[in-house]
RNA sequence: GCCCCAGUAGCUCAGCGGAUAGAGCAACCGCCUUCUAAGCGGUAGGCCGUAGGUUCGAUUCCUACCUGGGGUACCA
């Protein structure tokens, strides 16, 4: 760019540009700029070299390569690393003079955590660590979803169907509640699911039109014949390829015998189909399987409307703070919290402040009232909402309309978040408030922020949504109903047992307890690395097999480099303290290329921490630490430390380099919340 | 419809307007009497989604389009 300007000025001064079109000017400048930049680089290089501050300065291809005095620079660097130890790379605490609150790991009680939550925890922990290390005063917080529709549903299901059951002992009680929540959804959504199945069949199954007659005939022949109008309804929908609704039936329970008889048709379809056509066979089988699953609970059908009423009534029990219900809530909440604590501990999530939805509910309700009173919110179709675009005077739809309470007066997520956002600034004197929540909520958080602005809350703009894409499975979107969303606990267990196998195979002489500890560190590290080594705006396709791979670009590769470094130091019989003490007499003369590459990478760490913090991208640290491990492995193969024939001075220098590498690797991994074992 | 995100090697992903676009996995060929082979070296593999624009220079910035994903008033 500079060279371009210079060339242009030169040509201008020479008068060479006179009368030329813009395009011709460009062409001329273009022709000369390459040479000019090389010339410029060479002249600059000369000038830099003349300062005598660098060991070598070379101009190459328009770039300037500067060489340092290796011995002095290395000594200084290694000293810095060893003196600072676990804080190498960190800025002085609070040196940024900026206080930030990071909210993450908003797990729910009464519900099982899945791999998507795992990404949140890993990201939140890493972002907090990095923020802290970069010198931002960081308050770690979480916001537990201990009330809301999921809790109500779970407890409704508990009271209605499982009240007399003994919940399992110990930590699986939380998981048990999670299963109840899934069951509640299946029950309440049952009619929808059945109708969806029927309507897909009507739309996609060409054979149904022919087969329907027999099904309907059998419907006449049951002991308790169904209404003729309903049979006509079914026939009409099928022949016209139109969707059925529950309301379309005179007697909605007609669906029960109809759905049962449909099984005969589907079973026959599997047999009749051309067996050569594997795709059609697979589809027919899949349909039959889905039918079987739904049919297993066909007796649910008549009850669904009543259940829906019961769910509403359960909401009201909470709203009215019914003592028995509140007690049940409190007890079951405790079961889940025990489990959440374990997860947090295992994944290194520590919090300075704990929030939960139940504690901000009243504040939120109060705020909603005020918003209505002040005319910022209004009742639209019986629903309290803020018409944000209208209030901001925006022509184009941008922030749309946000409900701030349910029409029955119960609170929504938004009700509570408005209150919480305000509380954070009022009680903790922060400069910035960050939500680590997946990207699907970005409109939601924009809405919250804008409503706070309309409310007159000055700090609203200091809210920041740190979004990240969600986690899917190789097969497609996860659906908890189909049960193919891997639960956090399952992923954790599978990875740990897999890691244990590898450790036992690779390091059979290690004591069993050590093997288990190492396997644990490796497994958790592997999971975390997968979650952090992709940019936030990339969807992670979570392949359990790949997460379990311990080779290549993954945490174990880095941990292995660290363990190797530890091993060398152990065999060399030196500690960090010894190396530091000997530094005065350590000289780094004529290092090989692998050593220089390693040194360069170590020295880049502090800057990388700053960058990761300011961009809020732990990815920079995962990349950094992988590159560092790679360079160490290169060094390991090319530059022997303890082997015979290595000059004692070289050995001393290399031991120092290995120590600095070990410290930096451990520090980098620590920022990611990954443990660096000393042996593997 | 409107808004957001992604599209780079067979797959998963890096790539701070600049040098010959890089890793890992998978494939193929090598390296353990040596500080741990969870490692290292090599081979092969690319219209950087498409078309314009800005720039001396674009994978990178802008616009449009294509493809995929997500969001879009009483889910969280």
d(CA A334, CA A174): 9
The answer to whether position A295 is within a domain reads yes
In total, chain A counts a number of residues equal to 680
Report d(CA A589, CA A604) in Å as an integer: 21
Q: What's phi and psi for A355, nearest 5 deg?
A: -115, 155
Which CATH number does the domain housing residue A629 bear? 1.10.730.10
**Residue A25, nucleotide of least CA–C1' distance:** B56
Q: How far is the CA of A472 from the C1' of B14 (A)?
A: 21
DSSP string of A64-94? EEEE--HHHHHHHHHHHHHHHGGGTTPPPTT
Distance of A530 CA from B24 C1′ (whole Å): 12
Rounded Cα–Cα distance for residues A195 and A186 (Å):
13
A78 with A53, same domain: the answer is: no
Same domain, A335 and A442: yes
Protein CA A615 to sugar C1' B17 (Å): 19
- Distance CA A605 to C1' B56 in A: 34
d(CA A656, CA A663): 11
* A327 and A449, same domain (yes or no): yes
Nearest residue to A113 via CA among A47, A43, A171, A36: A171
Nucleotide nearest to A401 (CA to C1'): B73
Residue-wise DSSP of A409-445: S---HHHHHHHHHHHHHHHH--SEEEEE--GGGHHHH
How long is the CA A620 to C1' B38 vector, in angstroms? 23
Residues A329 and A467 in one domain: yes
Q: How many other β-carbons are positioned within 10 Å of the β-carbon of residue A615?
A: 11
Residue A58 domain boundaries: 2-67
Residue whose CA is minimally distant from B1 C1':
A397
- Counting beta carbons within 10 angstroms of the beta carbon of residue A133, is it exposed (0 to 12), middle (13 to 18) or buried (19 or more)? buried
Protein-proximal nucleotides of chain B (any atom < 7 Å from a CB) = 1-6, 12-16, 18-19, 23-26, 34-41, 55-57, 69-76
Distance (Å, whole) CA A554 – CA A440: 28
Domain end marker among A276, A306, A336: A306
Domain boundary, last residue among A471, A492, A507: A471
Strand partners, A385: A378, A403
Point out the residue nearest to B69 (C-alpha to C1').
Answer: A539
Report if residue A504 sits inside a domain: no
The nucleotide minimizing the C1' distance to residue A407's CA is B74
- Tell me whether residue A488 is in a domain: no
Q: Is the dihedral of CA A206, A210, A212, A218 positive or negative?
A: negative
A305 sits in which H/E element: helix A304-319
Mark whether A271 and A381 lie in a shared domain: no
Does residue A543 fall inside a structural domain?
no
CA A356 → CA A239, A258, A305, A416, distances in Å? Answer: 53, 46, 32, 9
The pLDDT score that the predictor gives to residue A672 is 97
Q: Which nucleotide is nearest to A60 (CA to C1')?
A: B19
C1’ B68 / CA A569, Å: 51
| Residue A367 belongs to domain with CATH number | 3.40.50.620
SS (H, E, C) A557-600: HHHHHHHHHHHHHHHHCCCHHHHHHHHHHCCCCCCCHHHHHHHH
Same domain, yes or no: A173 and A296: no
Q: Quick check: A347 and A126 in contact, CB under 8 A?
A: no
Residue A479: the pLDDT is 45
Clarify whether residues A175 and A198 are in a common domain: no
Residue A623 CA to nucleotide B22 C1', Å?
A: 12
Name the residue closest to B11, CA to C1': A546
A413-431 residue pLDDT tens? 999 999 999 999 999 999 9
* Residue A281, C-beta contacts closer than 8 angstroms, at least 6 positions apart: A270, A273, A274, A275
Pick out the nucleotide with least CA–C1' distance to A382: B74
What is the CA A473 to C1' B8 distance in angstroms?
A: 23
Rounded (to 5) percent helix, strand, coil in chain A: 65, 10, 25
A195 and A293 share a domain? yes
- Residue pair A343/A488 in contact (Cβ under 8 Å)? The answer is yes
A235 in any annotated domain: yes
- pLDDT (0 to 100) of residue A186: 92
Q: Give the number of other CB atoms < 10 A from CB of residue A520.
A: 19
Residue A62 (CA) to nucleotide B19 (C1'), in angstroms, measures 9
**Which nucleotide lies closest to A557 by the C1' atom and the CA atom?**
B38
Distance separating alpha carbons of residues A202 and A1, to the nearest angstrom: 65
Residue written as tokens 């001075």? A649
Residue A220 lies in a domain: yes
Taking 50 as the pLDDT cut, the residues of chain A under it are 1, 21-23, 477-482
Of all nucleotides, the one whose C1′ comes closest to residue A626's CA is B23
Nearest to A233 by CA among A225, A223, A221, A242: A242
In a domain, A620, yes or no: yes
> A440 with A337, same domain?
yes
Give yes or no: residues A343 and A438 share one domain.
Answer: yes
Give the CA-to-C1' distance from A537 to B7 in angstroms.
Answer: 13
| DSSP-assigned letter for residue A298 | G
Beta strand A99-103 with A432-436 is parallel
Nearest nucleotide to A643 (CA to C1') is B35
Q: Count structural domains, chain A.
A: 4
Q: How far apart are CA A540 and CA A470, in angstroms?
A: 7
* Residue A431 token pair: 């400069």
- Nucleotide with C1' nearest the A31 CA: B56
Please give the full DSSP string across A379-400, using - where no structure is assigned. Answer: EETTEEEEEHHHHHT-SS-SS-
CA atoms of A84 and A283, how far apart (whole Å) = 63
A82 and A149, same domain (yes or no): no
Q: Which of A306, A332, A359 is the last residue of a domain?
A: A306
Assess if residue A511 is contained within a domain. no
* DSSP string covering A210-277: HHHHHHHHHHHTSSSPPPHHHHHHHHHHHHHT----GGG-SSGGGHHHHHHHHHHHHHHHHHHS-TT-
User: Does residue A178 sit in the same domain as residue A193?
Assistant: no
Q: CA A573, C1' B37: Å apart?
A: 24
Q: Which residue is nearest to nucleotide B36 (CA to C1')?
A: A564
Residue A397 has a CB neighbour count (10 Å cut-off) of 9
């Amino acid at each position: 760019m500079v060279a371009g300007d210079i060339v242009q000025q030169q040509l201008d001064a020479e008068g060479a540009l006179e009368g030329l079109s813009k395009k011709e000017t460009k062409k001329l400048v273009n022709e000369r700029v390459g040479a000019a930049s090389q010339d410029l680089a060479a002249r600059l290089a000369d000038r830099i070299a003349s300062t005598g501050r660098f060991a070598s300065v070379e101009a190459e291809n328009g770039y300037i390569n500067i060489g340092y005095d290796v011995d002095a620079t290395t000594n200084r660097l290694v000293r810095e690393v060893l003196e600072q130890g676990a804080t190498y790379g960190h800025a002085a605490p609070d040196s940024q003079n900026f206080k930030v609150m990071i909210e993450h790991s908003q797990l729910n009680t009464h519900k099982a955590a899945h791999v998507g939550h795992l990404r949140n925890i890993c990201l939140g922990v890493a972002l907090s660590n990095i923020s802290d290390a970069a010198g931002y005063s960081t308050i770690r917080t979480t916001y537990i979803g201990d009330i809301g529709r999921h809790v109500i549903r779970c407890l409704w299901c508990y009271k209605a169907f499982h009240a007399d059951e003994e919940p399992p002992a110990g930590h699986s009680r939380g998981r048990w509640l999670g299963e109840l929540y899934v069951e509640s959804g299946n029950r309440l959504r049952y009619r929808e699911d059945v109708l969806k199945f029927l309507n897909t069949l009507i739309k996609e199954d060409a054979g149904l039109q022919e087969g329907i007659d027999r099904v309907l005939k059998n419907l006449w022949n049951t002991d308790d014949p169904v209404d003729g109008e309903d049979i006509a309804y079914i026939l009409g929908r099928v022949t016209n390829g139109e969707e059925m609704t529950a309301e379309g039936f005179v007697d909605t329970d007609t669906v029960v015998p109809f759905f049962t008889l449909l099984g005969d048709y589907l079973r026959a379809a599997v047999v009749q189909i051309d067996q050569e056509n594997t795709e059609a066979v697979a589809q027919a089988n899949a349909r039959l399987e889905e039918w079987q699953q739904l049919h297993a609970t066909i007796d649910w059908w008549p009850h669904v409307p009543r259940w829906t009423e019961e769910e509403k009534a359960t909401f009201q029990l909470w709203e009215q703070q019914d003592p028995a219900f509140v007690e049940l809530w409190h007890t079951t909440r405790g079961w889940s919290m025990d489990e959440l604590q374990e997860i947090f501990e295992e994944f290194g999530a520590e919090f300075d402040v704990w929030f939960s939805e139940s504690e901000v509910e009243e504040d939120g309700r109060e705020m909603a009232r005020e918003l209505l009173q002040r005319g910022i919110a209004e009742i639209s179709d019986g629903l309290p909402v803020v018409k944000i675009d209208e209030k901001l005077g925006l022509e184009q739809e941008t922030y749309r309309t946000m409900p701030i309470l349910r029409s029955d007066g119960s609170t929504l997520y938004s009700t509570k978040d408005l209150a919480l956002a305000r509380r954070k600034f009022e009680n903790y004197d922060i400069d910035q408030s960050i939500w680590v929540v997946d990207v699907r909520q970005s409109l939601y958080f924009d809405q919250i922020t804008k409503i706070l602005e309309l409310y007159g809350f000055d700090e609203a703009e200091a809210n920041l949504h740190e979004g990240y894409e969600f986690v899917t499975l190789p097969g497609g979107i996860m659906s908890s109903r189909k049960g193919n969303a891997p639960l956090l606990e399952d992923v954790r267990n599978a990875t740990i047992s897999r890691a244990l196998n590898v450790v036992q195979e690779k390091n059979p002489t290690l004591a069993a307890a050590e093997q288990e500890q190492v396997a644990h560190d490796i497994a958790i590290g592997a999971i975390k690395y997968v979650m952090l080594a992709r940019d936030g705006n990339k969807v992670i396709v979570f392949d359990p097999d790949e997460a379990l791979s311990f080779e290549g670009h993954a945490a174990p590769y880095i941990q292995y480099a660290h363990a190797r470094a530890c091993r060398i130091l152990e065999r060399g019989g030196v500690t960090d303290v010894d190396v530091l003490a000997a530094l005065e007499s350590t000289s780094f003369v004529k290092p090989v290329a692998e050593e220089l590459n390693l040194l360069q990478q170590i020295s880049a760490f502090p800057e990388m921490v700053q960058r990761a913090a300011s961009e809020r991208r732990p990815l920079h640290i995962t990349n950094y630490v992988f590159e560092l491990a790679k360079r160490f492995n290169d060094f390991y193969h090319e530059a022997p430390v303890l082997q015979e024939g290595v000059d004692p001075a070289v050995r001393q220098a290399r031991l120092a380099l290995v120590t600095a590498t070990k410290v930096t690797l451990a520090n980098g991994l620590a920022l990611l919340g990954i443990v660096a074992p000393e042996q593997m």
